[in-house]
Structure 1
Amino acid sequence: MKYRETTSIAALAVALCVCAQPAFAQSAGTMVAGGAEAAAASDDDVGESIIVTGTRTTGMKAADSPAPIQLMDSEALARTGQPDLIQSLAQSLPSIQAQSFGGDMQAMNLQMKLRGLSPNHTLVLINGKRRHGTANISIAGGPYGGSAAPDMSFIPTAAIDHIEVLQDGAAAQYGTDAIAGVINIILKDSEYGGSIVGTAGQYFDGGGDTYSISGNVGFAPIEDSYFNVTVQKKKKGFSFRGDVDPRVFGDNSVAAANLSKYPDAVNQAHYPYVNRILGDPYVNQTSVMYNAGYRFGDFELYSFGSYGHKYARAYENYRTPGIITDSDGVPFYPTGFSPLEAVRETDWSVTGGFKGMIGELGFDVASTYGHDLVGVYVENSGNSSLYRDTGFTPTEFHNGDFKASQWTNTLDLTLPVDIGLSSPLNLAGGIEWRRDTYGITDGDPASYYGSGAQSFFGYAPANAGNHRRTNFSQYLDVSFNPNPDWLVDGAVRHEHYSDFGDTTVFKLTSRYDITPTFAIRGTASTGFRAPTPGEGFYSGISVGPNSVGGVLPANSAAAASLGFGGLKPEKSTNFSAGVVFTPTSRLSFTLDGYWIKIRDRILITGSFYGFNGQYCPEGYTGSNAASCIPYNADAYNIYNQQAVYDAVSSALGGTIPSYVLIDATGVDRNLSGTVRIQTFANGADMTTRGIDFTAKYDMPTGIGDINWSLTANYNENKVDSIAGLPSALYTSTVDPTATALIDKFAVWTLEKSTPKVRATLGMYWESSMFSLNLRESYYSKVSSLSTAPGGSPLAGQSIPIPVKASFITDIEVGFKPTEALKISVGANNLFNHYPTKTSYENFRAAYEASGSSRFASSVYPTVSPFGINGGYYYARVGVKF
């Protein structure tokens, strides 16, 4: 390990020395020129590349961009070794962080965040048109909570010509969602040739076996047309990074009791590593994408679209044999069982449009429809209540469906107007009408009968529903040069929502080239993000044998009875300023600082209790009173709120099952019973500030250019204030933070789970037959916050769980015996580096001694920005024709 760290530190030191000389940049495909960072497929200066993101001016070059924008081409994406687009972007661009692990349904649809903000704050475009979001909304807390951003796993990298990443607030230009920036994916439009690429790999320590095969072909059905289509098939196997399960293994009373009563538990697959929740899910996915057009004169008819199907399943916590038994106590699964949450998802989108020039007036009219259907299933499970009551239980359940759609219609116009300046004033304007829908379909009755399907309670009819919203917007953008060296761009956008009314947002951007090699630039803008229909209407109330809980729809009458009153839009203010320095055609630097203020940020709340049986009322004299937590008026009021009880009861149709409240005698308080809820709310005001730095140097050598790059990001998220509790909810008089709308654990995650410093040093060299791609990435410390369990030396205290600062090395070596064939081998995380383990002394020892399942699942902190699986090694073969 010392050798590993020394090597990494030395590599970074060499990089800084080279930069100071000066001499830098092109990462594993990321080049910088005059303010645009790009991965160029040709030898042309990337500054000559034409961009379409962040500007409405036709023909603007990357070198002249007034805002920081990064470009990556298909070759650079391929060199990351990842068949998944999010992972490819995160490995190359320090301002992007990919979610490395997700629990429950989050595992099926990992997301990414830009500048540490929510995935919902980054707008994803395909060929400049809005991409629809996923129906699988995340109900977890933290920076990924509430995310319903597009599932980019359905976009095959082989279909992509290049990607433009605008790192700047752009709500006034493109509409809501663009608070952190814009990712514009430009598809291939070649009308001839193609490629076939096959990739296979796995983790160094086992699991995650992956293969992907994709084919891309372009042809011209008729003269002056193009049709480019890509097909990708990819599979990824389970990985496991947990530990033994002390409920059925080890020297503790829980294991001894379980093994004495259920000796067949030792025959469970993978024993004693039976709790396999900590690891990657299995994914089997097929995606098809096309891009087509017909050009005639100054006009073009075009269409593009995609279709994808995903079958994925993830392990949930192992259940011991006694969880499902008949009326005589005989277990349904003699060895216990590991439920699997699964999805069968179908995602598709189609765009049709017509664009061209009428004189000097440019126009583009288009319509896009996207739809996502997520079928939710539980496999290898059972319903304990159903089995006990009837002697029968299914082992597979259809828990319900999530569905979402988006229909967007746009008209964009551009017109250059000569007003006597050094170049024409560019006018751009347009209108957009959009309809968003979201719905939940209830599942099989067996999935929500009684205690429900083990690991994932089904969606009952009370959770089902269909919801819609429409939006109409207009924008105007004016760009002009007061003199040849000064660019000014201003935009204003007005939007009307059917459920929120009106808003108007602005943006002002400017760049001044002080000399041919040095420029300054800056932006100021306001933003607005309406809550997604999923955030407003997701409903997930489940009823177990001892509990009622879940998520109340934010826009429901039950939530309103608690004083929430539905969701408001988020509003933002964004400032940035930077410099561009290009001393030579081979060397360039950019430095941009930013400050983003988000008000009324939408977050999922902490839990509020209407009943908790352990907290007995004062003077309680039931037969189990001795087992109650000693009476404390403040604690009792926190955990037994009548307003919460009434709201949950209302959501269930007026009644909470008596067995949740009363024990088996039918008389005494059920000490194990709970009634609790969460909901989405405008929970906090936040400030994000940071710096983006890029440097590039194309170093000529006798064996070909070596393209160096250094990209770095400093990012700090701060929760400025937390919204107050509605008056209907109890506020602690002893410790108000104990009843805060957003608890301290969520606040900690929002502030501490994104690396403050992320840097990537890249080197790419290619000759006629060989190539070498090398990346060295640095991640500063991140952490989560957790309460130390009973039995720990710090029991009851809130303790940070850190992931220490780390260097990660990626490498790929390529061999190209002919122009048509290239063979590559590589590694992500070459030295098999893992995140810091969770403290055994403060957490895991107590879990082990008490026979807790958390011992198996707490080996590594899942907030790790570089994952929990260690090194990934792969080989790729590409054929072009």
Structure 2
Amino acid sequence: MTTLIWGNRMKLKLSNVSRAITYALASTASVGLLSATAYAEESNEGAKKNIEKIAVVGSRAAPRSVGDSPVPVDIIGGDELSKAGGDDMLELLKGSVPSLNVHQNPISDAASLVRPANLRGLPADSTLILLNGKRRHRSSVIAFLGGGINDGAQGPDISVIPSIALKQVEVLRDGAAAQYGSDAIAGVINFVLKDASEGGSFAVKQGQYFEGDGDTTTIEGNVGLPFSDDGFANLSFQYKNSDATSRSVQRPDAAAYDAAGVPGVRNPAQVWGAPEIKDDFTLFGNVGLELSNSSEFYMFGNYSERDVKGGFYYRNPQTRPQVYSNDGGDTLLVADLDGLDSGISCPTVNLKDADGNRILDVTQIAAYQQIASNSDIGQNCFAFNEILPAGFTPFFGGNITDTSFTVGTKGEIESGTFEGAYYDLSGSVGRNESRYFITNTVNASLGAETPMDFSPGKYIQLEKNFNADISKGYDFGLAYDVNVAAGLEWHEETFEVIAGDEASFIAGPLTQQGFGIGSNGFPGFKPSAAGEFTRRNYAAYVDIETPFTDEFLMGWALRYEDYDSFGSTTNYKVTGQYQLTDDLSLRGSMSTGFRAPTVGQANVSNVQTNLSSGVLVDSALLPPTNPVSQILGGTELQPEESESYTFGAVYQSGDLFLTIDYYNIKVEDRISQSDKINLTDEQKVALKADGVPNVDSIAQVSFFTNDFDTTTQGVDLVANYSMDLLGGYATFSMAYNWNETTVDKFSAITGDFKVKRLEEDLPQHRATYTWSQQWEDFSGFIRYNYFGEYQGVHVDYDATAIMADPSFTFDAEVTYYATESLSFTAGANNIFDQEPEKLDFERATGIPNNNWGGKYYETSPYGINGGFYYVKATYTF
């Protein structure tokens, strides 16, 4: 049986074959179609039935059930995604895919604006993201402080995709660069938009953490409309606001200043928690139109925008370098406003008494009184304690705007040499802009004239894609037709840096006296660093699937890709599936892959504030070809190269479905941000001789590099079983992942601590067990989430690291169907409010107090905010 699918229409051509094969042309001919058996519930009727879902990922030939697939694929229905308390797509997926880990990254610069995710322990940009089978553009945000694993990662912004817009999500857990190109080393996630031409839903959700903060309100809707008599227009929107959270205690230094009577001390002075998200609006559209019996037009895209605001580290009013002191807090940093050559010297303000004890209230120090009172001795002298006596905590955030548009046509060729072939021609453009802001901070080099709010500039990521694909079955006398697919792709990627306002980057008049340059915490982008950086590449591929017998299938893929920057690469993939019995089959794959360095990684410059041995310092991230980087070992970036293989088994018997797959991924020359390297005096002298500006203000330098190799291996186990139970219908599901990463080779550029983070930050064992129950008027589920031991890290500082104990959480939800159209839902994530691992400084370093005001290790795999409850009302029409 051969089936052509056009939206909701299909034509059938029947032929006798030894097993039923369905050839499908759904969202695109450029990617494969794969069907998966899933259990679905007819919400308020309590009915139960097995349905077949079509997945546009993993193969370019016949769609097959998960049991017949030579590669592991998870299919998550849109209804299943909506069964969770949060609205962040990353959190929704984490509950369904155990090998996917997501961290909240408090106090992490841009990584708190667009959170990275890790599939199979690899960084966020090692997983290819598709929308309706088409490559999704990257975010403009580069995770400069990405918690070790994601340092420097630049992946797509998945959080802009609302669950209400989705028909399903397909997760290919296998290397697929030979099929799809760069980034598919860990796997592929394809988001499939709804395509109904009628009906829809509207929902309102309200939630809050058990701690009483993080209030979240979400309003969302979806509507399917006819687009003439032969098409559909499916539209979705989501509007969300989410308050910030705090899991902090007062820092001991801030508490001491408050007790000493220093005015203006915040409590807490430094916040660990989720950022505030305001006016998070997104709109998705999906349009299809049948042009003839053999051709179709399609179009889809989105517009999304949100404001995000979070906190930074507290600036101590006596020890913060380049603002309050440059000798560790022994003396106050005092500016001579007449200049260094005026012949007038400002008083020396000793911050410790004769016994070496710190004097917390500087107003009690006679030398400071001379400065503050503008006396004859202190005339024309200035210290930041005069305007910020309690120190300060910058607030960092951004406005994130994301847009995309794809248009194309697909169909069947009805005559000529390629009669019976399926084609797909498409073009797409995607743009992501991050406009940063930082408030409650200073440009110390401007002294008392500094503004407190800054606009440090923008990053813009722009991508264009054009695809031409064709697929045709040929009769070679095998069990059924051999499918041959081929295609061409052209891709252009542009990363643009727009300079910030002058006050955010200027070196003011106090620079030569040791005061810091630019907005403290996140200096603005200088005009010299601004500009557009563009790269183009094209690719050609061929993909063949050969059914040697009814029981034995093999697939072959070869892809050639050429980049105008570093040259070309060729990759292959071989897959196989053998049906041992009616119930049991074996499957496996072997492939090579690559990940090209992004244009942003190759060209971006940035200054971050980070902790080094417990002290805040400014660290410059420079392009790897910058003279500073080259002195420290930087070279032009090259693509990562990978080799991977998987093998597994599938067992299906009645209502029981079970898969188990082992995978092994070797990645050479991995691209990441180097360790923060301290500049020596000799290196600074050499840099000055080369004309590099503002060298004295740089304490540390990092750059992107191909410095280390890794081997990642693991096992995925997925099981489902359905039965009649308790007067209703029950589905039991289990998903387990064991994942282990080993760093095979590295140098001092990467450093020992980063290696530990790569190997130990993520739990090696993850599992979820879910019981879903359906009755006529009620439905619900209970989910158990298990997290194995992981490395607890605080403030990205190796002296704080410990191995945290395994833990678990429970999620639960119940829905009441009041009418055919109206339902009410109540539920909670982490329903028993399981706490993450608490900071243990005695165990880690012997430090008796919490210097930085946190309560939990940020690497907790289930976050630091605790339990979250929610209620939801849904109207379906």
TM-score by length of 2: 0.83
What is the aligned partner in structure 2 of residue 820 from structure 1? 821
What pairs with 1:354-503 in structure 2 (closer than 5 Å)? 354-359=409-414, 360-386=420-446, 388=447, 391-450=448-507, 451=516, 452-503=518-569
Listed one character per residue, the Cα deviations across residues 492-519 of structure 1 (whole Å, up to 9, x for unaligned) are 0000011111111000001011111110
Q: Is the 8 A contact 1:537 1:556 kept in 2?
A: no
> What secondary structure sits across from 2:722 in the alignment?
strand
Q: Closer, same or farther in 2 for the Cα pair 1:689/1:522, shift >3 Å?
A: same
Q: Which amino acid aligns with 2:636?
A: G
What pairs with 1:191-202 in structure 2 (closer than 5 Å)? 191-202=197-208
Task: Give the superposition deviation at 1:293.
Answer: 1.2
Listed one character per residue, the Cα deviations across residues 270-298 of structure 1 (whole Å, up to 9, x for unaligned) are x3x22214444444311010000111311
Q: For 2:41 and 2:478, locate their aligned partners in 1 and report how far apart those are by CA, in whole Å.
A: 36
What is the aligned partner in structure 1 of residue 287 from structure 2? 292
What is the aligned partner in structure 1 of residue 836 from structure 2? 835
Task: Give the superposition deviation at 1:802.
Answer: 2.8
Q: Is the 8 A contact 1:240 1:280 kept in 2?
A: no
Residue 646 (structure 1) aligned with residue 641 (structure 2):
no
- Pick from 394, 400, 403 the counterpart of residue 345 of structure 1: 400
Q: Is the 8 A contact 2:802 2:844 kept in 1?
A: no
> What secondary structure sits across from 2:159 in the alignment?
helix
> What secondary structure sits across from 2:686 in the alignment?
helix
What is the aligned partner in structure 2 of residue 757 from structure 1? 765
Task: Give the superposition deviation at 1:201.
Answer: 0.6
Q: For 2:596 and 2:195, locate their aligned partners in 1 and report how far apart those are by CA, in whole Å.
A: 34
Listed one character per residue, the Cα deviations across residues 666-700 of structure 1 (whole Å, up to 9, x for unaligned) are xxxxxxxx632111101211000000001111011
Task: Give the superposition deviation at 1:814.
Answer: 0.8
Q: Closer, same or farther in 2 for the Cα pair 1:860/1:98, shift >3 Å?
A: same
Q: Is the 8 A contact 2:153 2:672 kept in 1?
A: no
Task: Give the superposition deviation at 1:543.
Answer: 11
Q: For 2:682 and 2:668, locate their aligned partners in 1 and report how far apart those are by CA, in whole Å.
A: 29
- Pick from 852, 856, 863 the counterpart of residue 853 of structure 2: 856
Q: For 2:150 and 2:607, locate their aligned partners in 1 and report how far apart those are by CA, in whole Å.
A: 21
What pairs with 1:864-875 in structure 2 (closer than 5 Å)? 864-875=860-871
Q: Closer, same or farther in 2 for the Cα pair 1:448/1:423, shift >3 Å?
A: same
Residue 877 (structure 1) aligned with residue 873 (structure 2):
yes
The answer for unaligned runs of 5 or more in structure 1 is 1-33, 612-639, 661-673, 725-739, 790-796
> What secondary structure sits across from 1:412 in the alignment?
strand
Q: For 1:94 and 1:524, locate their aligned partners in 2 and report how far apart those are by CA, in whole Å.
A: 23
What pairs with 1:77-226 in structure 2 (closer than 5 Å)? 77-102=81-106, 103-140=108-145, 142-226=148-232
What is the aligned partner in structure 2 of residue 331 from structure 1? 386
Which moves more between the two structures, 778-787 or 118-127? 778-787
- Pick from 688, 693, 700 the counterpart of residue 712 of structure 2: 688
Q: Which amino acid aligns with 2:672?
A: L
Q: Could you say which structure has the higher helix fraction?
A: 1
Which moves more between the two structures, 329-338 or 199-208? 329-338
Q: Closer, same or farther in 2 for the Cα pair 1:393/1:798, shift >3 Å?
A: closer
Q: For 2:645 and 2:609, locate their aligned partners in 1 and report how far apart those are by CA, in whole Å.
A: 47
Which moves more between the two structures, 137-146 or 150-159? 137-146
Q: Closer, same or farther in 2 for the Cα pair 1:320/1:62, shift >3 Å?
A: same
Task: Give the superposition deviation at 1:556.
Answer: 3.5
Task: Give the superposition deviation at 1:337.
Answer: 3.6
Task: Give the superposition deviation at 1:93.
Answer: 1.3
Listed one character per residue, the Cα deviations across residues 286-313 of structure 1 (whole Å, up to 9, x for unaligned) are 1010000111311110100011111111
Q: Is the 8 A contact 1:39 1:73 kept in 2?
A: no
> What secondary structure sits across from 1:247 in the alignment?
helix
Q: Closer, same or farther in 2 for the Cα pair 1:702/1:873, shift >3 Å?
A: closer
Q: Which amino acid aligns with 2:567?
A: G
Q: For 1:766 and 1:123, locate their aligned partners in 2 and report how far apart those are by CA, in whole Å.
A: 35
Task: Give the superposition deviation at 1:701.
Answer: 2.6
Q: For 1:417 and 1:701, locate their aligned partners in 2 and report how far apart those are by CA, in whole Å.
A: 48
Q: Closer, same or farther in 2 for the Cα pair 1:546/1:605, shift >3 Å?
A: closer
Q: For 2:796 and 2:115, locate their aligned partners in 1 and report how far apart those are by CA, in whole Å.
A: 28
Q: Is the 8 A contact 1:556 1:566 kept in 2?
A: no
Task: Give the superposition deviation at 1:563.
Answer: 4.2
Task: Give the superposition deviation at 1:183.
Answer: 0.2
> What secondary structure sits across from 2:79 in the alignment?
helix
Task: Give the superposition deviation at 1:877.
Answer: 1.1
Residue 311 (structure 1) aligned with residue 311 (structure 2):
no
Listed one character per residue, the Cα deviations across residues 133-172 of structure 1 (whole Å, up to 9, x for unaligned) are 1111011251111211110111111110001100001111
> What secondary structure sits across from 1:248 in the alignment?
helix
What is the aligned partner in structure 2 of residue 276 from structure 1? 271
Q: Is the 8 A contact 2:172 2:189 kept in 1?
A: yes
Q: For 1:317 and 1:815, locate their aligned partners in 2 and report how far apart those are by CA, in whole Å.
A: 45
Listed one character per residue, the Cα deviations across residues 549-574 of structure 1 (whole Å, up to 9, x for unaligned) are 41111244543454422111100001
Q: Closer, same or farther in 2 for the Cα pair 1:845/1:83, shift >3 Å?
A: same
Q: Is the 8 A contact 1:435 1:470 kept in 2?
A: yes
What is the aligned partner in structure 2 of residue 616 from structure 1? none
Q: Which amino acid aligns with 2:262?
A: P
Q: Closer, same or farther in 2 for the Cα pair 1:777/1:823, shift >3 Å?
A: same
What is the aligned partner in structure 2 of residue 775 from structure 1? 783
Listed one character per residue, the Cα deviations across residues 84-138 of structure 1 (whole Å, up to 9, x for unaligned) are 1110000111111112224121111112111011111100000000000111101
Q: Closer, same or farther in 2 for the Cα pair 1:219/1:288, shift >3 Å?
A: same
Q: For 2:179 and 2:552, locate their aligned partners in 1 and report how far apart those are by CA, in whole Å.
A: 20
The answer for unaligned runs of 5 or more in structure 2 is 1-33, 325-333, 335-371, 373-380, 415-419, 508-515
Q: Is the 8 A contact 2:204 2:218 kept in 1?
A: yes
Q: Closer, same or farther in 2 for the Cα pair 1:679/1:817, shift >3 Å?
A: same
Q: Which amino acid aligns with 2:402?
A: D
Q: Which amino acid aligns with 1:551?
A: L
Q: For 1:283 and 1:756, locate their aligned partners in 2 and report how far apart those are by CA, in whole Å.
A: 35
Q: Is the 8 A contact 1:560 1:566 kept in 2?
A: no
Listed one character per residue, the Cα deviations across residues 242-268 of structure 1 (whole Å, up to 9, x for unaligned) are 111212314xxxx3xx754x63235x4
What pairs with 1:531-570 in structure 2 (closer than 5 Å)? 531-541=597-607, 549-570=619-640
Q: Is the 8 A contact 2:69 2:587 kept in 1?
A: no
> What secondary structure sits across from 1:473 in the alignment?
strand
Q: For 2:775 and 2:606, locate their aligned partners in 1 and report how far apart those are by CA, in whole Å.
A: 57
Residue 610 (structure 1) aligned with residue 654 (structure 2):
no
Q: CA RMSD in A?
A: 2.5
What is the aligned partner in structure 2 of residue 707 from structure 1? 731
Q: For 2:617 and 2:170, locate their aligned partners in 1 and report how far apart those are by CA, in whole Å.
A: 48
> What secondary structure sits across from 1:263 in the alignment?
coil
Listed one character per residue, the Cα deviations across residues 462-503 of structure 1 (whole Å, up to 9, x for unaligned) are 332321111100110000211111111110000001111111
Task: Give the superposition deviation at 1:641.
Answer: 4.8
Q: For 1:764 and 1:505, locate their aligned partners in 2 and report how far apart those are by CA, in whole Å.
A: 42
What is the aligned partner in structure 1 of residue 513 from structure 2? none
Q: Is the 8 A contact 1:788 1:842 kept in 2?
A: no
Give the length in aligned residue pairs: 760
Q: For 2:171 and 2:653, locate their aligned partners in 1 and report how far apart those are by CA, in whole Å.
A: 24
TM-score by length of 1: 0.82
Task: Give the superposition deviation at 1:610.
Answer: 2.4
Q: For 1:50 and 1:492, locate their aligned partners in 2 and report how far apart those are by CA, in whole Å.
A: 24
